[in-house]
Chain A
């Protein structure tokens, strides 16, 4: 049929629901049936709104969140009017009027206008009728997100009004951008729409542990401003908080103006029937957050996927009987890094409802289930959501429950993992962010995708908030019947050499491969080198061979070639060694002289108590080292980094042990030792823990009685984890021995780039203790000897490099004047 005769389908709103509806329509041959035009207010293709949280936090790039880029519309013959807003709908003439003057006639219309941020009436928030005070933001669109990112660069204190999902995500994002953040929530419980009071309290602790201040039961009544910029907020009780940035995440309101103006029935949102059609007009459908179905308006994506399927079935005639029956809102989210799942009732409502509750506030874990007549009618999981797949299914379909209810909350004994994947029904939604069901994953495996990453790429499962990745993996493994050509690469130490670490190490040893190029030549079938594997191999060989390692510069990451850390503009940062964070006037003077002599744009004290000279030109590096006359602080390698210390017993009136002396001893011994990832240590003089030893790869705490506790596997970076207690010992010498043995065991067994916070729980602290402390497997002597070999092989890289007269330090961007950062 030629285009002029095809009926025209117009879609208003190019968000998650509108675009998904179009995808479902195309999947049913809709392109042959309709000429399709989409109006989208936002000047982009369609992106995954959920990931705005990650964009704000800086963990995703804006280019990574597109679901359908502009090309996709062109490739599918869809006329996308991006950046064009529909302003009036004339249902009788069947015309959509847009703000660019277009008037477009439709045969079928889909309204998918979503929601907008709700700004509660707060005194002082608006500069005028239409403009918010400078520094005040909503959090809904990519543009909101980008302007917040811009603004945050020059701001230091943010207040977020609203402690629901959005508010907490905004708070985390801004905090990761370096702002001090307060969340102000007027109900008593965080995320009160999903969580009961104890769960809210535990979430609050987890959020506060991130360093975010939380005010609950506090209503924001006023916004203070000066010179047109926000300066603070005031609360109902007269108190307040100062801030230079304010994010309002106090709820959303459906965009229904257009529909209301056209005479469609609007209650809380546009009222639709079970076909997702408006009740007033058979030609007009509504889908997503702007639609109200049987009194429900949904504010999460999972229901939208189901709505889009029904709409497409009905609109294309693929299945005219398709009906939407509403979604049971079982949600699984990641909020400020904490896993949250909630479905149905938060608490028992009837006297004979069963209520099972488990709470471990210290670990941030809370789980409840509500059972009525032997059916699951509600569940809340916080911190540990491993059982969520089964619970969601039991909740959706009223499955019979096991008599020992506790097994609903925990894996008791060892129920084989496959049972979880096997017992899940085919239509169970696995990835809520992208609406991928178990059946889709299975079909993808049967269609030939044999690896987890391949299935994820093909279906988009796990590409949203990421909380479903482990379930996706289980299902793919199950569907491939164990015969998973299963990311063969998944078990390899590096992607380009087909062996897991233990086997690789055995072969390297047997064949005596001392260089990266010899490993490729001997162990890769066609001898192909792989750029992505070089760094991991160089690190492994360095660790295994010590001074017998043949160091090939072309196998080294730039940081290791030039012994400094590359920065965003191609300059480098230089961190001289300051053992244990203890320095002298002479060192400081030399550092200051160098900073002046080389116009160092920024001198920064690091989190590890070192001094960082940032913005050094590559060609200046050797001269800078020569002038410093200090050894390298190794702030650039996948290697032993620093030992942070507190002042300890020498000066502190609480000190129980000489933490600085031990810290310096540790740093002297393990300086520059390469490993699978960086290793950061700390020693603190008493349990007040000023050096933050509990969140280090290895942390030592002096305790009463002259004894020392050793913690391992802690982290306080992208992940927060308290270390596990490895041992308590009586002398610094024992600390040094066990630290070396532990680090060596880690170096030999961890995957490339696997930090101790992942490796320790994966291996199990009991196993590690058995090997490292109790020498159960008789490995201790070997580990100690291997570590000693590495210690002996240490060579100070800056001294060596100063002799290097090659052109290694020539600029790599000859036409750009570096540094390109502001000098402070």
Chain B
């Protein structure tokens, strides 16, 4: 199976994000209410806010500093601002979490 192993599903509480270092980059990984995972760069493209600390719903995460919203799938900013870089995070059947870095 491909991707960097970063930990297990239980490391991330449901509905929240946690930050990890993956191949020299800091990545925020989110665990959705349906247990699926999403991942974005951990620093907000606006002014570097900690996106792992943001509030999320099924679609977006809201940066805690100035409230910009980033699509958890594509990284697009809700009002057309600079996007956050998206990554792919998945959990194996045994709960191992893997991240494949995006562009």
Contact = CB atoms under 8 A, between A and B. Distances in A.
B65 interface: yes
A558 B53 contact: yes
Given A531-B55, A813-B43, A814-B19, A553 B13 contact: yes
A812 B19 contact: yes
B93 interface: no
A553 B53 contact: no
A569 B49 CA distance: 7
Nearest to B26: A815
A814 B21 contact: yes
A517 B56 CA distance: 12
A63 interface: yes
Interface string A551-573: 01111111101000010111000
Interface string A690-707: 000000000000000000
Interface string B85-101: 00000000000000000
Contact of B18 (A530, A570, A807): A807
B9 to A, nearest CB: 14
Contacts of A556: 55
Given A554-B14, A570-B50, A810 B61 contact: no
Given A531-B56, A558-B53, A570-B49, A814 B20 contact: yes
Of B16, B50, B59, B69, chain A has the most CB atoms within 10 Å of the CB of B50
A816 B26 CA distance: 9
Contacts of A568: 47, 65
Interface in A704-760: none
Nearest to A569: B48
Given A531-B62, A558-B64, A566-B64, A812 B53 contact: yes
B4 interface: no
A63 B79 CA distance: 12
A812 B14 contact: no
Interface string A86-127: 000000000000000000000000000000000000000000
Given A531-B57, A814-B20, A63 B15 contact: no
A812 B28 contact: yes
A806 interface: yes
B28 A63 contact: no
B50 A812 contact: yes
A176 interface: no
Interface string B36-57: 0000001100011111111111
Contacts of A517: 33
A180 to B, nearest CB: 28
Interface size class of B (residues with CB under 8 A): 35 or more
B82 to A, nearest CB: 9
A662 interface: no
Contacts of A807: 11, 18
Given A529-B33, A812-B19, A813-B43, A557 B57 contact: no
B60 interface: yes
B53 A810 contact: no
Q: Which of B11, B13, B24, B53 has the most CB of A within 10 A?
A: B53
A814 B81 CA distance: 25
A496 B60 CA distance: 13
Interface string A511-532: 0000001000000000011111
Interface in A378-392: none
B58 interface: yes
Contacts of A561: 53
Given A811-B19, A814-B26, A554 B56 contact: yes
A535 B15 CA distance: 14
B16 A554 contact: yes
A558 B42 contact: no
A534 interface: yes
Given A529-B58, A534-B55, A566 B26 contact: no
A816 B21 CA distance: 11
Nearest to B72: A531
B13 A813 contact: no
Nearest to B24: A815
Which of A63, A556, A557, A813 has the most chain B CB atoms closer than 10 A to its own CB?
A: A813
A535 to B, nearest CB: 7
Contacts of A552: 15
A570 B55 contact: no
A454 to B, nearest CB: 14
B60 A553 contact: no
B50 A530 contact: no
Nearest to A529: B57
B80 to A, nearest CB: 10
A300 B45 CA distance: 36
A566 B81 CA distance: 22
Contacts of A557: 55, 64
Contacts of A810: 18-19
Contact of B65 (A496, A534, A566): A566
A566 B55 CA distance: 14
Contacts of A555: 15, 55
Nearest to B15: A554
Of the candidates B20, B51, B62, the one having the most CB atoms from chain A within 10 angstroms of its own CB is B62
B56 A566 contact: no
Contacts of A813: 19, 26, 42-43, 48, 50, 52
Interface of B: 11, 13-21, 24-26, 28, 33, 42-43, 47-62, 64-65, 67, 69, 81
21 contacts: A63-B81, A530-B57, A531-B54, A531-B56, A531-B60, A532-B67, A535-B55, A554-B13, A554-B55, A558-B54, A558-B64, A570-B53, A806-B13, A810-B18, A811-B19, A812-B28, A813-B42, A813-B52, A815-B25, A816-B26, A816-B48
Given A528-B57, A531-B61, A554-B56, 16 more contacts: A496-B57, A531-B55, A534-B57, A535-B55, A553-B15, A553-B16, A555-B55, A558-B50, A566-B50, A570-B48, A570-B50, A812-B42, A812-B50, A814-B20, A814-B21, A816-B43
Interface of A: 63, 496, 517, 528-532, 534-535, 552-559, 561, 566, 568-570, 806-807, 810-816
